[in-house]
Structure 1
Amino acid sequence: MSIQSEQEFKTLITADQAAALQAKLAFTPAFGQVNTYYDTPDFRLQHAGLGLRIRQFNTRAEETLKLPKGPNRLLEEMTDPLTVSEARQLIRANSIATHGQIRDYLLSQQIAPSVLQQFAAAVTRRRLLDQPAGKLTLDETHYPNDTSDWELELEYHDAQAAKAYWTQLLAEFAITAQPATNKVQRALANVIISQAD
């Protein structure tokens, strides 16, 4: 179990901009993660600014809850570890873990874990690069309706150093910052688009 605070800059970018970034910056090799998102039928979590998911990697999994904690995209991320087998069983059962700090937090907010259900999913290929100003993340995310997007993010602790680096990086790669909704909202939007087709 862990609770971490994170503050970040992020923007959606084009595939060409992503290719240019990868050609010039030494990102780690991409690794995959499969996200399954949960909410109540009336989207109480989203209305409260929360995001709940089960995330699967190759050899491990986790259940995470993101909570807004202040201005400038300050978030708190609550994480309960899962085995890959546990994660797969929970997803098959359309359920979340019956133990852990996330369950306890939801109950404290009068949200019964039993009413949560899956509403969206996404598969992300993630590339990371540690920089003096923070951790740079390049994500390529695919949704079940065959759409995809690229997102560039800088997670930081020193706002002044991060802002200077972020501004220089966007200028260098001719990126115009686009407000990026979080992946939970983008996954939901792609579900709605798919159902409308």
Structure 2
Amino acid sequence: MSIQSEQEFKTLITADEAAAMQAALTFAPAFGQANTYYDTADFRLQKASLGLRIRLFNTRAEETLKLPKGPDRLLEEMTDPLTVSEARQLIRANSIATHGQIREYLASQQIEPASLQQFAAATTRRHLLDIPAGKLTLDETHYPNGKRDWELELEYHDEPAAKAYWSQLVSEFNIRVQPVQNKVQRANANVNISQAD
């Protein structure tokens, strides 16, 4: 289990911008991840700016709760590791883990694990690039309704260096930075939209 703080710049980008960046930058080999998102029927987590997911990779899995922590997009991410078989079993059962810091935190907020249910899902192909100021992430996310989007994120530990790199990057690729709904909100927005939209 772990708790990490994250601070980031992010924006949605176009497919053409994503392709140009992949051609110009030396990202590590891409990998896939499948996210299943949970909330109560009345979306208590979202109303409290919390995000709960089970994430499946090829050889491991995790349960993660994102919590807001201060201004400037600062988040805290609480993570409990799972095996792939545990995660698949939980997803099939429409439930979360019966142990770990996330379950304890939810109990402290009077959120009963039995009240949580899956409400959205998304599959992401992720490209990573380590830079001196932090980590650049380019995500291509697919939703069950057939829609997809591309998100560019710079998670940083050195704000001045990250700000300079981000400015240079968006200028070089002619990116118009725009506010971004988080993946949980985007996945929820893409649950009941037909592919014809």
- Which TM-score band applies after superposition, normalised by the shorter structure? over 0.9
Q: Matched residues in 1 for 2:140 and 2:170: separation?
A: 18
What is aligned with 2:174? 174
Cα root mean square deviation, aligned: 1.3
What is aligned with 2:165? 165
Aligned-residue sequence identity (percent) comes to: 83
Q: Matched residues in 2 for 1:160 and 1:43: separation?
A: 36
Q: How does 1:66-145 map to 2 (within 5 A)?
A: 66-145=66-145
Q: Secondary structure at the match of 1:150?
A: strand
What is aligned with 1:27? 27
Scaled by the length of structure 2, the TM-score of the pair is 0.98
What is aligned with 1:50? 50
Q: Matched residues in 1 for 2:70 and 2:24: separation?
A: 34
Scaled by the length of structure 1, the TM-score of the pair is 0.98
The offset of 1:10, in angstroms, is: 0.3
What is aligned with 2:39? 39
The offset of 1:106, in angstroms, is: 0.2
Q: Matched residues in 1 for 2:106 and 2:35: separation?
A: 19
Q: What is the aligned residue count?
A: 197
Q: Which runs of 4+ in 1 moved over 6 A?
A: none
Unmatched 5+ stretches in structure 2: none
Q: Secondary structure at the match of 2:190?
A: helix
What is aligned with 2:18? 18
Unmatched 5+ stretches in structure 1: none
What is aligned with 2:154? 154
Letter in 1 for 2:63: E
Q: Matched residues in 2 for 1:163 and 1:181: separation?
A: 21
The offset of 1:192, in angstroms, is: 4.0
Q: Matched residues in 2 for 1:179 and 1:132: separation?
A: 25
Q: Secondary structure at the match of 1:58?
A: coil
Deviation digits for residues 58-91 of structure 1 (CA, Å, limit 9, x no counterpart): 0000000000001111000000000000000000
* Bigger Cα displacement from structure 2, 160-169 vs 9-18: 160-169
What is aligned with 2:190? 190
Q: Secondary structure at the match of 1:88?
A: helix
Deviation digits for residues 31-69 of structure 1 (CA, Å, limit 9, x no counterpart): 000000000000000000000000000000000000000
Q: Matched residues in 2 for 1:101 and 1:90: separation?
A: 17
Letter in 1 for 2:68: P
CA contact (8 A) 2:145 2:192 kept: no
The offset of 1:194, in angstroms, is: 4.2
Deviation digits for residues 121-172 of structure 1 (CA, Å, limit 9, x no counterpart): 0000000000112100000000000000000000001211111110110000
Q: Secondary structure at the match of 1:17?
A: helix
Q: Matched residues in 1 for 2:179 and 2:164: separation?
A: 18
